[in-house]
Amino acid sequence: MKKIIPYNQDLIAFTKKLRNNMTLGEIALWRELKGRQLGVRFSRQIPIDQFIVDFY
């Protein structure tokens, strides 16, 4: 069963903006992390409750 994490719907637009306007450091980091190259799945800028979490 998939666990559903509560989040604030108002943060969705802001998280998309953060994902589309990454710094050079974030671009380099996510290039290394994407595609489960480390055997673990990472998500970025995820709204959880009233916060935006950079790594999940």
Question: Tokens at residue 48, please?
Answer: 């959880």
Provide the 10 A C-beta neighbour count for residue 42: 14
Per-residue model confidence (pLDDT) at position 26: 86
Residue 5: predicted pLDDT: 79
Of 3 and 34, the structure prediction assigns the larger pLDDT to 34
Structure tokens at 52: 């935006």
Q: What is the pLDDT of residues 8-55, one digit of tens each?
A: 888 888 888 888 998 999 888 888 887 667 788 888 888 888 888 887
* pLDDT at res. 2: 64
Taking the whole predicted model, whether its pTM rises above 0.75 is answered as no
Q: For 1-56, where are the alpha helices, taking DSSP H only?
A: 12-20, 24-33
Residue 47: partners with Cβ closer than 8 Å, 6 or more residues away: 7, 8, 11, 12, 15, 53
